[in-house]
Structure formats: C-alpha cells, structure tokens
Structure 1
C-alpha cells in the first residue's frame, strides 16, 4: 500500500515538474523569438545615450564693436535619477562636495518633470577644483554628470541692463507657449530687454552627442556628434562711450542732488532716465535708467534682498523698472505742444504778446507763474525761453483742449513708439472723452446704488403705513431725497465727468493728467528738430550670423509726417534755442558749451506723499536737440524728485551731448542756479 501511494505522488511530482519546464521553455521561446527586438532596443537605449549640446547664444555688441554680452563656457553638475537603493547616499555625498543642502538636490529631483535616466541640473558654474573632486570619486557617485555648457556673461556688469535684459531657465508658462518651437525644460530663455525681444534670433540650434554609458550612466566613449549652431549676433545703434556717459551722468547728478544741493538737498532724488536719439533716423544712441542692476545675478539664485531691490512693490525705486519707458507728467517740456496748437489753429501769432504780472485770474481762481514777480510782456519765443506759465495758460484756452490733444498725438505722445524692447508704457493724452469714459460709469453706478437704497427704505415704510396721510407724507419725503441725490449727481458730474476749462489751463503747461515717457519726449523733440518727421525708434541696427555675415539690416521707419507748418516748427525751434541763451532757464547749464543746443526745462509737480501728507519734491526735466542749426540728435532726461529741470536733468543731458559731440566739458555744477 505505501509503495502504491509513493508511486502516485511521484507521478504527480513529475507532472508538476514537466508543467513547470514547459512553462519555462515556452516563456524562453517567447522571449527569444517574439520579444528579441524589443529587449535589444531597450538594451541599446540603456547603453547608448544622447546628450544635448546647448548652442551658444549670439553676442550683443555696440555700434563701435564693444561686446556687451557673450557666452562663456562653464562646468555644470547634473544627476540622473537611476532609482538606486543608495540614491540618497549619492545625494548626500554630492551635496557635501558642492557645499549644498541635500534637500536642495532632492527638491530638484522631485520637481524636475523629466523621465528616468534624463539629467537634472544641480549646479552651474562649478569651479575646477570641485569638478576634480567629483571626478576623483566617480565610482561613489553613480548618475552624477559633469558637462561643459555656455553661461551668459554681461561683460560690463550693470551697464545698460534695461536695454540688454537677462536670461534664465525657461518658465513653465513660456514652455507651454513655445512647445512647438523645440524648447525643453532647462533651456535658457530671454526674460527681459533685447534678450527677450530677439530670443529667436539669439537662441541658436542645440546639437547633441551620442555617448556609450555604463550601468551607472557614466560615459564610456563618444560614438557620434552633431555640433550646435551658434545664435545670431545683435549689432546695436548704442554708442558705448555715449551710453557710458549717460550712466555716469545719472549716477553723478543723483548723488550730488542727495548730498550737495546749495539751496536744499533732494534726498529722494534716487532715480532717473535719459534717452538720446538720432533725429534723422530714429536710432537710439543711448538709453539709461537708474537705479540699475547687474544681469549676471540671474545666472544664479536670486537672494531675497536682490529680489526686493529689483521687483518689490514696497520699494519706491525698484531697479528693474526701465524709467526711460515709464510715463511721467512732462511739466513745461509740454509747452511746445501748446504752442503748436495755438499757432496752427491761428488763434495767436508768434509776435502776439501777453503781460505776465506773476499770475492770472481765470474761472474764479488765480493761476500763478513759477516766478512770483512774473516775466513782464512776452511773446512766443520769450515765453518758451523763460517758461512763462501765464502766457501758456491763456494760449491753452485759445487753442482748446481738442487741438492740444490733436498735436500731442501727432508728435507721438501718449502712445507706444514701437521700439524693439518689451515693457514700453503708453502714457496718456487727457481729453474730454477720456475723462468721460474714465469717470461716468463708476459715478452712475455709485448713484444708482444710492437711489436704490432710498427707494427700498421708503417702499418698506410706505408698505407699513397706518394711514393714507402717512403714506403720502412718506412718498413726498422719498421724492425729496431722490431729487437731492439727483442734484448732487449733476454737481459731481459737472466736476468729475465733464471737462472743465481749468483742466485745459493745467494741461497747457504739462501738468494735470498728462503722462509721457522720456522715450516719447525724445521722439517728440526729434520730430520738431527734423522738420516734422516722426520716426520709429529702434535699438538694433543689424543682425549678423556667427561668421559675421549680415542676416538683416534694420532701416529707418517713418511713422508719421506731422501736419504742422514749417513756419510753426521754425519759431518753436527758435524759442528752444533761446532757452540756453542768456536769460533762458538753461543758460547756466550750457554756458560755454561749444555746440549750440536748443532745449526746454521742465518741473513736474508730484503731489503729496500719501503716507506723510507732505508735498513731495518735483521731478526735473530737460529736453533738447543739437546742433541748433543742423540737428543731429535729440535728448530727453528726467530726474525723479530732483527739483527744477535746470538744476538736475539739464546736467544729465549736457553730459550726454558732450559725449556724443566729444566735447571736453567743465566740471558738472548740478544743483546751482536752479530755475524752472
């Protein structure tokens, strides 16, 4: 009996063994015959790796050949997530070598939206001694890679940062927008300035290397290479020495105003801008904005302090803002627009005079001139020369707001110039229609709520009235309150919605709701100087490839031929020339200057500080062109909270013009002889 049981069990065991062998042989056959190609491909993919070679971005150079931006080769360290059990140990060792917190590396691994075996960049611009340490411990660091890649270098640090911009790794929203253009996570992307506007030009085409790697993803040998194609270069209209002079002039004048004012100091004079244009083409020869920043900081991690200095809304002077393209009230630099309007509408002749006793009484109030004693009898040329407010108050009323606005728009004010930089602001030419659109809707909505509240209050009381007499009494009160509110609405509408003559008075001297950028102001002056042609300002002169061949040559573009007579432009230019002559508001600024400059100073009121309730210092403006008899360039400069234009922005403009004309100018006397 036992023998029979053993034989049965043996047969069962042999049957099981046979089934197992059949399964194994079947599986082996399936793998060998059916899935051979699939596993061969997987094996090859594990053995062969494609490594991207970033293309060098194109250089950015000045018109005189100075390289402002270029790429330099640096070492970078990346890690490939292999899914190893000892991955955390690798991370700790790598962090110790790089001087990083392991949490930073783990965060990069966890945040990276990449597939397994793809490199995740951990640190860039790694010193050679650190690279050597990693190489020495190669076997302890599976998945760690060292590559040579380009890093953006802004050669002169904080030189023209608002023009050049900066680059960083492409952001997720940018990647989504550019998904069809071959971008991938980790790619460099222009975030501001020319780096952004000309991203597709500067970018280049990445190459790649086909590399055989071991099981730890360490390269064994290179099998093939497809070299990258460098991006194209930008050749600017910017003149290096003139731009340098613009940057230094702003720094110097701001410092002097804060520390060395003769009549008073201007502690908040910490920002400003200046623009120089070629009046014959629209080429931007210089554009500076202060405070500035060093774009090289974006190659690494921005600190909290750096971020606040650049971007914080709590910082009254954020360095990232390009003030050359930010709108300000223009002050008296707007008076040539009013002059154009009154002459072109034939409401006055250049020879017509007005007596200025120091103020004028209009529409129930007194409007003062900046000089309390007044300027006596003035005609158009003298009114521009001495910046007589009383003259322009009355000329503004003669011209009317519609015509002032018409010529402001013709000169390009209150609209984008179309310059090849991102972030340009529009500004504003105030008009009756603008005021109505701005205020009428909100005012109506405000009063509709008030009407509704009155009706709801009385409808409830009327519904609960105990007698007909009480009901009628409540209805009379309801109508009385509604009439009062409607009357108050008409009063508010009169002041807040309808254009009033006093607003034309204020607009005529560049105050009130006028808002224009220094770039617009420079272009407006260039249009006056060249006889009435408004060009589109542009910074890039041409684009060349890596071999120096011209890919694209930019040319002057006429935006508009203004509908202003040559006679009107000529008399305005004469008035501007008188500004720098004895008796003019900028005479002291340009005393002894060998090139005849025509200009206009301006002082823009800034109102009260919302925190302290105290009046803030004014912004100082200067606009002009030179030479007077054969205009080549136009300049516009502003100094925030710098007081009078004749003692602040005028000196910035003078230094820039001196650099352009290669004039050895005297010591800058910013802060003395302050005038309008």
Structure 2
C-alpha cells in the first residue's frame, strides 16, 4: 500500500512538473514571444540574432547637410564587404582578386578562419571597379555605399554630439517603441532635432548560419532595412560647407585657443559659418571645454556693448553733438597715466575712440531716467532674450532651433549703485551676451532697425530628398530701434574703422568697407596677469550690407591673437570667394 501511494505521489509530482514545463514553453513560444519578462525581451529577435551574421551599412539615424545639400556630419564611400564563407571558394576569390587592388594571397590571409563579415576599408574603389565587381555576381561579395559618420564633422559644436543614454531616451520618448540603446542627441542641433533623427532600424546585409557557423543550405545574403523612404529625416542647415571648412582650417593656423568666428547672412538672417574652439575631444567630450559652442555662449562683451548705450542715448535725447566728455579720465573720474589720453571728445569721437568715461556717464544718465532703460535697449537690439528661430514646428508650439544662452545685463543685486551702472555702460561686470546675439545686433543696425530671428536650419528633408518642412525668415517680436537711430549707429560704427583715430582703423584697407565695434573685456587676473575677451563685431560692405561678422578670442592675455587680425583674415577669405557676394 505504501509503495503504491509513493508511486501515485511521484506520478502526480511528475505530471505537475510536466504541466508547469509545458506552460513555460507556451509562455516562451506563444504568449510572451516579443516581450518576455519585465525587461520586455524580444525572444524572436534574440533567436534570430543567435544564428545570424550581419554587416551594418547605416545606423539609420538622420544626418545633417549644408546649404548646398552636401553632407556635414558624414562622408560616403564605396566599401567591399566579404562574408566568411567565400574563403572556401578559391575560384571566386581568384576572380575577385583580379578585379581589385589586392593579390590573391593577401585576400586569402585576410579571410583566413574569420567568422564575421570582413570590410576591406583599405581599398579605395572607383565607379568602374564597383561596376566590374558587381558584374561578377559572386556569392558573399558585396560593394555597398557606406555612410561614415565623421569623428569631427564640420561645425562640430553647432551640430552637436550623440551618445547612448537609455534613461534619457525613456524620459524623452516614453511612448516610442524604438531601440532605447540607440545614440540620441546630447548637444546642439543633434539635441534640438533629436526626435526627427531617431533610427527606426539599421540598414544591413545578413545571412543565417548553422551551429558551426556555416551558411544554412539554400539561404543567400539578404539585404535588410526599415523599408521607409521617408524616415529618419535629414536636417538641411544654412551653413556653407566649403566656407566652414576654409574658416576652420584658417583658425587652426592661428594662436587662438578659445573663441571663434560667426558669420551671418544679413538679408536672410542665416548662419553661414560657426567656428568654435577649442575642439571637442571625441573620447570624452563632456570632460573637455570644447563641448561648449562659444558662439552661442554668453560672454563679457566689453566695449562692443557701448553700441547699446549709444542707441539708448540717441533715442532718449540724452546726448548732443556739442557736448564733450573728459576722456583723459576713467569711469570713476580718475586720470590713469598708463592709459592713452584723449582729452575732450564729443559723442561721436567718444564712440570712435571708445572712451570709457563718456559711456560710463551716459549709462548713469540712462538709469536715472529709468532704471530699466539699458535692459530695454539691450532687448530692442536683441542682445538679450535669445535670437534663434522660434515658432510652431512639428508638435511643439514654441520650438527653438538653436541651443543658445539668453544673456543678461544685471544680476539681482547692486543695480542701485552708480559704479555698477558705469561698468555696465562699458560692457563689464554683470553684462553677458553671446556672439550670436551681437552678430544679429549688427545685422539689425545694417537693416535700418528691422529685426529677424536667426536661422541655422533652412529645412527638414525626407530621406528621399523631398521637403518635410521649411523654416521661413521670421521677424523677431518686440520693440526695435527707430530708422533714425539705426542710421546714427551706422555712422558711428563706420567711423570706428574709417577715422584715423578709430580703434579699428587697421581694418580700413580691407577690400570691403567695414563698420563695426571693438571690445576688450577684462575677465580675470591670474597670478598678476590680466586676461581678456577680445572682440570685433561688424558688418560689410557698408553701403550694401551682406554679412554680419563677429570674431572673439576669449581668456587671452593682452598679447594674444588680435580680434582685428581674425576679422581681417576672415573678410579676405570671403573676398577670395567673391561669388558669394553679389556674383561680382
């Protein structure tokens, strides 16, 4: 009896175990095939992957183009891909070697005992060779046009970088059923347009193998892609790729360590070149200051900010042509023997020679009339508040194209102190503006006071090249300066270069008539040595403005690379590309 009972218990146990195992098998093969466990593992994909060899042609992420539809963030090349099983076909290898610049012995050594597809990157194939190889119709031999994402693309900080971050992916896209381990935008345009650039899957060549790594009978190499000719989207920027390359090559020949060049097309309010240094360090970009786009970062402007003070003083009738200022003194009324003495100067001469005493005094007058007057004119000229394109786009109602700082005039403390206003008047202390905003200010003045948002992207394109969305030129909302004030500022900016006493008279011999303003902002003292931001911001040609240009050399000593020289060299580069200017 006891033995029978044990048999029954054992049978019941085995039956229960069998039912549990069958249930588990049903769960794995029928119920949770595509979303197994809390981690949502796709068992079908894992199974296929286990017996699949593949070569990824393209990650599927959208890319960036310049204004002429040429790639900025990648390059393209023909690459020869060989799958492992061809190593056993001597006849096929012999045919192949006779059509490529690689002898049979080297080819055999390259493929010996490999179990993964081999990419022969050392070969540079032309169109004729590609045609000849394709005509051979050899199994396991493919020539593909591969997109090579550049380690350091043009306008690196402007375009931005990508990286894997599953937590951030889940935060941004909680409802998207895409691979959360794919790279996503971390900075720049990569970040601002990330949702449109996401990959829906790799473009790849693949084949299935048995347990020993040999191709399964009857199966050839297959081409696989998301089969979507529209997505991901590509971003067409306003950048002139050739000019960007030329300016990047140029700036790397100078002694500039930190700073850059920003060129803005005045008519269309489009960025044509954005160069920021130092460069990004690819192996650890976030630990290096090169990750920052200094052209969109707020910096102390120094005397460039006197343009804002001049505009406010002109429109509020706080200065006239007869009044003079004692420019032998500094903003505190003290004579500085080591500084150049100018004597009594009128308003125009004070701007031309960049007299600190005059603009310190004007800043005090402005704040006495209205403590918010300087900040109001900074807003009118667009040097605070942001100037990049904003508006309705995709499913966003206040979308921003550009990742930019918005600038500031005052902090929350000290605004009732007269010395604070004087330092503000010469662009020191709390004043912070971006080179982007200063370039747009120069464009606004050149246009007679008309304000536009700055475009860095002209359109978003489908994969097939057709247009998904076009960014039109938009007016920058809010107040602006009067046409009369703009005209007076044009005269002042031109006098800085044209006058023999002007702080930028060295630029008077350039091939185009330039109007602009210098700025030398003292930012810190290290071991007794002062360090500066050196600026020159202006526009040209004066009579028919085409470009606004800002150059800045940041955190440099007095003997560091001259902003005048950077500006002059950039203008001369543009002159050598004169077809960009009116097709002369």
Q: Does the Cα contact within 8 Å between 2:327 and 2:345 map onto a contact in 1?
A: no
Please give the per-residue CA displacement for 1:526-557, whole angstroms capped at 9, x wherever unaligned.
11111112222121111212211111111112
Matched, 1:633 2:547: yes
Matched, 1:340 2:311: yes
Deviation at 1:21, TM superposition (A): 10
Q: Does the Cα contact within 8 Å between 1:617 and 1:643 map onto a contact in 2?
A: yes
Q: Does the Cα contact within 8 Å between 2:257 and 2:277 map onto a contact in 1?
A: yes
Task: Name the SS for the 2:518 alignment partner.
Answer: strand
1:378 alignment counterpart: 345
Higher relative contact order (CA 8 A, sep 6+): 1
Per the alignment, do residues 592 and 129 of structure 1 end up closer, same or farther by CA in structure 2, a change over 3 Å counting? farther
1:182 alignment counterpart: 177
- Highest CA radius of gyration, 1 or 2? 1
Task: Name the SS for the 2:519 alignment partner.
Answer: strand
CA distance in 1, matches of 2:293, 2:28: 58
CA distance in 1, matches of 2:462, 2:524: 51
Taking structure 2 as the reference length, what is the TM-score of the superposition?
0.72
CA distance in 2, matches of 1:158, 1:658: 24
Following superposition of structure 1 onto structure 2, how do residues 22-421 of structure 1 map, counting pairs within 5 Å?
41=30, 49=48, 56-70=60-74, 133-135=113-115, 153-155=148-150, 157=152, 159-206=154-201, 220=216, 221=219, 227-228=225-226, 229=228, 230-253=231-254, 255=255, 270-293=257-280, 297=282, 302=283, 307=284, 310-312=285-287, 318-349=289-320, 351-359=321-329, 365-366=333-334, 371-374=339-342, 376-400=343-367, 401-418=371-388
Deviation at 1:149, TM superposition (A): 12
Task: Indicate which of 458, 470, 475 corresponds to 1:558.
Answer: 475
Task: Name the SS for the 2:459 alignment partner.
Answer: strand
Deviation at 1:523, TM superposition (A): 1.3
Q: Does the Cα contact within 8 Å between 1:48 and 1:213 map onto a contact in 2?
A: no
Q: Does the Cα contact within 8 Å between 1:599 and 1:622 map onto a contact in 2?
A: yes
Task: Name the SS for the 2:245 alignment partner.
Answer: helix
Please give the per-residue CA displacement for 1:623-645, whole angstroms capped at 9, x wherever unaligned.
00111112122111110244569
Task: Name the SS for the 1:180 alignment partner.
Answer: coil
Following superposition of structure 1 onto structure 2, how do residues 490-501 of structure 1 map, counting pairs within 5 Å?
497=414, 499-501=416-418
RMSD across aligned positions (CA): 4.4
Q: Does the Cα contact within 8 Å between 1:59 and 1:71 map onto a contact in 2?
A: no
Q: How many residues in Structure 1 have an aligned counterpart in Structure 2?
A: 494
Q: Does the Cα contact within 8 Å between 2:74 and 2:149 map onto a contact in 1?
A: yes
Q: Does the Cα contact within 8 Å between 1:57 and 1:70 map onto a contact in 2?
A: no
Deviation at 1:272, TM superposition (A): 0.8
Q: Does the Cα contact within 8 Å between 1:414 and 1:516 map onto a contact in 2?
A: yes
Deviation at 1:422, TM superposition (A): 5.9
CA distance in 2, matches of 1:49, 1:246: 49
Matched, 1:617 2:584: no
Q: Does the Cα contact within 8 Å between 2:65 and 2:237 map onto a contact in 1?
A: yes
Per the alignment, do residues 367 and 564 of structure 1 end up closer, same or farther by CA in structure 2, a change over 3 Å counting? farther
CA distance in 1, matches of 2:80, 2:182: 16
Please give the per-residue CA displacement for 1:575-611, whole angstroms capped at 9, x wherever unaligned.
11112224144545424312111011111112322xx
Per the alignment, do residues 128 and 234 of structure 1 end up closer, same or farther by CA in structure 2, a change over 3 Å counting? farther
Per the alignment, do residues 245 and 48 of structure 1 end up closer, same or farther by CA in structure 2, a change over 3 Å counting? closer
Unpaired runs of 5+ residues, structure 2, are 34-42, 82-106, 118-142, 390-399, 579-584
1:424 alignment counterpart: 404
Q: Does the Cα contact within 8 Å between 1:544 and 1:552 map onto a contact in 2?
A: yes
Task: Name the SS for the 1:543 alignment partner.
Answer: strand
Task: Name the SS for the 2:576 alignment partner.
Answer: coil
CA distance in 1, matches of 2:153, 2:72: 11
Task: Name the SS for the 1:617 alignment partner.
Answer: strand
Q: Does the Cα contact within 8 Å between 1:369 and 1:388 map onto a contact in 2?
A: no
Per the alignment, do residues 136 and 402 of structure 1 end up closer, same or farther by CA in structure 2, a change over 3 Å counting? closer
Q: Does the Cα contact within 8 Å between 2:161 and 2:185 map onto a contact in 1?
A: yes
Per the alignment, do residues 387 and 633 of structure 1 end up closer, same or farther by CA in structure 2, a change over 3 Å counting? same
Comparing 63-72 and 160-169, the one that deviates more: 63-72
Unpaired runs of 5+ residues, structure 1, are 1-10, 77-126, 138-147, 256-268, 437-496, 665-676
Name the one with the larger helix percent: 1
Per the alignment, do residues 608 and 360 of structure 1 end up closer, same or farther by CA in structure 2, a change over 3 Å counting? closer
Following superposition of structure 1 onto structure 2, how do residues 484-523 of structure 1 map, counting pairs within 5 Å?
497=414, 499-523=416-440
Per the alignment, do residues 169 and 35 of structure 1 end up closer, same or farther by CA in structure 2, a change over 3 Å counting? closer
Task: Name the SS for the 2:451 alignment partner.
Answer: strand
2:397 alignment counterpart: none
Task: Name the SS for the 2:484 alignment partner.
Answer: helix
CA distance in 2, matches of 1:606, 1:29: 78
Matched, 1:649 2:547: no
